[in-house]
């Protein structure tokens, strides 16, 4: 006996809602695809810390064999170190280079603490460094580079309107080394290595929606936090875990 199929009920979930849900899922996937991974490796060799009245200066390594740290990155580190109620006294990089000219130019800057020691044997140089109040030199080396990119976005405009469609992505790698010299002890106080990789995505559905990762900004923040601890804690990294 043939039975009529019961009438199909209209689905309570409309097409518009289905589309919205699909868009949300796609958006979540894209947002999770962008992000930053960081690695910071500090190494402190001494117990030296910055004392009241002493200053630190942040300089970019400029001997041309290396990647030169960007000017705004040096400024970011200097400004961040000086900020806040626990800010450290930071000497202006350009003023220091001008004051010590010609001994901190790309071709004349000391490459090792032995070179620094030789330089400071000149009485006029030693006196100038003393007058500046600078105790620690932070040499920054490295750069932020684009390591991968892909996708594409197409935009078109017509009588009825304009819009874009597509997906673009790119990955930047910010790798920096901060080497800290103690001028008073004429020795290296240690190094901090930072490697921050960030992937940015930009889907375009009519309008491009940028989701930008900022690895350089993260590198600046991470290095600054490490340098603050480096310069203010004898052991470098605060109290250890409470094992009691």
Partner 1 sequence: MLAATALLCGCSSSVVVESSFPTPLVEPLPVRVGLIFSPELHDYIYTEDIPEQSTWTITLGDANIAMLEPLFDTMFMETREVPELPLNAADQRGLDGVIRPMLEKFEFDVPIGQRDQFVEVWMQYKLSLYEPNGEVVTEWPVTGYGKAELGHNREDAVRKAAIVAMREVGATISTQFASQPQVTYWLEERENAAGLPTETQVAN
Residue 65 binding partner 1, by CB under 8 A: no
Contact 195, 39 (CB under 8 A): yes
Closer of 113 and 144 to partner 1 (Cβ) = 144
Does position 83 interact with partner 1 (CB under 8 A)? The reply is no
- For partner 1, the closer of residues 106 and 151 by Cβ is 106
- Please state, in angstroms and rounded to a whole number, the distance separating the CA atoms of residues 45 and 148: 36
Q: How far is the CB of 187 from partner 1 (least distance, A)?
A: 20
The residue within the footprint of partner 1, chosen from 47, 101, 151, 237 (CB under 8 A), is 101
Site map for partner 1, 138-167, x if CB under 8 A? -----xxxx---------------------
Q: How far is the CB of 132 from partner 1 (least distance, A)?
A: 12
Tell me the closest approach of the beta carbon of residue 175 to partner 1, in angstroms.
13
The residue length of the chain stands at 244
Q: Of the candidates 184, 187, 212, 179, which has an alpha carbon nearest to the alpha carbon of residue 198? A: 212
Of 214, 187, 176, the closest CA to residue 66 belongs to 176
Contact segment (CB under 8 A) with partner 1 among 16-24, 114-122, 131-139, 210-218 equals 114-122
The whole-angstrom separation of Cα 122 and Cα 127 is 9
**CA 78 to CA 72: how far, in whole Å?**
10
CB 218 within 8 A of CB 75: no
- Measured between alpha carbons, how far is 220 from 224 in angstroms, rounded to an integer? 6
| Residue choice 27, 38, 50, 70 for contact with partner 1 (CB under 8 A) | 70
How many residues bind to partner 1 according to rule CB under 8 A? 25
In the bound complex, what is the minimum distance in angstroms from residue 105's beta carbon to partner 1?
4
**Does position 131 bind partner 1 by CB under 8 A?**
no
CA-CA distance, 27 to 21, in Å (whole number)?
Answer: 10
8 Å CB contact between 195 and 223: no
- 3-state SS class at 74: helix
Q: Among 27, 40, 119, 205, which residue interacts with partner 1 (rule: CB under 8 A)?
A: 119
Contacts to partner 1 by CB under 8 A: 64, 68, 70-71, 98-103, 105-108, 115, 118-119, 122, 124-125, 128, 143-146
């Amino acid at each position: 006996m043939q039975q009529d199929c019961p009438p199909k009920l209209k689905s309570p979930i409309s097409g518009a809602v289905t589309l919205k849900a699909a868009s949300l899922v796609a958006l979540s996937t894209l947002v999770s695809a962008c992000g930053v991974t960081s690695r910071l490796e500090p190494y402190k060799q001494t117990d030296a810390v910055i004392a009241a009245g002493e200053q630190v200066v942040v300089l970019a390594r400029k001997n041309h064999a290396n990647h030169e740290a960007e000017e705004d990155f040096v400024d970011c580190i200097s400004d961040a170190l000086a900020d806040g109620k626990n800010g450290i006294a930071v000497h202006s990089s350009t003023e220091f280079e001008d004051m010590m000219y010609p001994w901190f130019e790309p071709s004349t800057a000391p490459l090792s603490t032995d070179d620094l020691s030789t330089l400071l044997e000149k009485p006029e140089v030693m006196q100038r460094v003393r007058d500046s109040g600078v105790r620690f030199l932070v040499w920054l080396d490295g750069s932020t580079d684009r390591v991968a990119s892909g996708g594409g976005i197409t935009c078109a405009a017509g009588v009825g309107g304009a819009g874009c469609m597509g997906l673009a992505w790119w990955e930047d790698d910010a790798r920096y080394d901060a080497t800290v010299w103690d001028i008073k002890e004429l020795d290296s106080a240690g190094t901090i290595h930072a490697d921050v990789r960030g992937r940015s995505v930009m889907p375009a559905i009519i309008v491009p929606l940028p989701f930008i990762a900022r690895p350089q900004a993260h590198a600046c923040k991470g290095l600054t936090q490490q340098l603050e601890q480096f310069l203010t804690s004898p052991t470098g990294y605060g109290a250890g875990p409470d094992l009691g």
